[in-house]
Amino acid sequence: MRIVVLVSGTGSNLQAVIDAVSSGTLDVDIAAVGADRPGTYGVQRASEAGVGTFVVDFKAYPDRSEWNAALTAAVSAYRPDYVVSSGFMRIVGQSFLDAFPNRYLNTHPALLPSFPGAHGVRDALAYGVKITGCTVMIADAGVDTGPILAQAAVPVLPEDTEEALHERIKIEERRLLIETLRQLADGDA
């Protein structure tokens, strides 16, 4: 199974996937890693692992639709079976989703449908939940509304800060993403 991974930042989920592939515990081909801006650590991680990279800089395009078309073309060139949003902080357009129907995966640091959006961890803490977690889903045109593939629960501890809770969620998120990719590769998802 070929995947293209999209990143906007450090690529910690990406590193977990790279490590799982390198150790032989995940049988996928990371065809490329792409970013929406130059200089991301995620692209550096990919380069250091010998994975091809590309950047489709959002700021280099006059509008979102032209950027979306360029991103779609760049990803399509690698003919992925799945595209993985790994901390990719851009909303893609419908033409991108149409190019990869039911094949654009996203992770989210909450148990969807609760706490969608960019601040899932903060929102869960503010609401006072005792359990939160993470979700792997198929991305659609909504904000964190696509079909859920897998979830894992993470308890909220009384002393939790947003940062501490998010770090514990990220541990589960990495595990869950790798397990979901393994199931997809094996045809078990």
How far from chain centre, in Å, is Cα 110? 13
Tell me which amino acid residue 44 is.
Q
How far from chain centre, in Å, is Cα 108? 8
Give Cα separations from 142 to 22, 106, 123, 139, 174 (angstroms).
34, 12, 18, 8, 23
H or E segment at 99? helix 94-99
Give Cα separations from 148 to 50, 58, 113 (angstroms).
31, 28, 9
Catalytic residue among 16, 20, 92, 108: 108
Query: Using CB atoms within 10 A of its CB, is residue 36 exposed (0-12), middle (13-18) or buried (19+)?
Result: buried
d(CA 123, CA 69): 33
Kindly state the DSSP code that residue 145 receives in the 8-state scheme.
-
* Catalytic-residue membership of 166: no
Q: Where in the sequence numbering do the catalytic residues fall?
A: 108
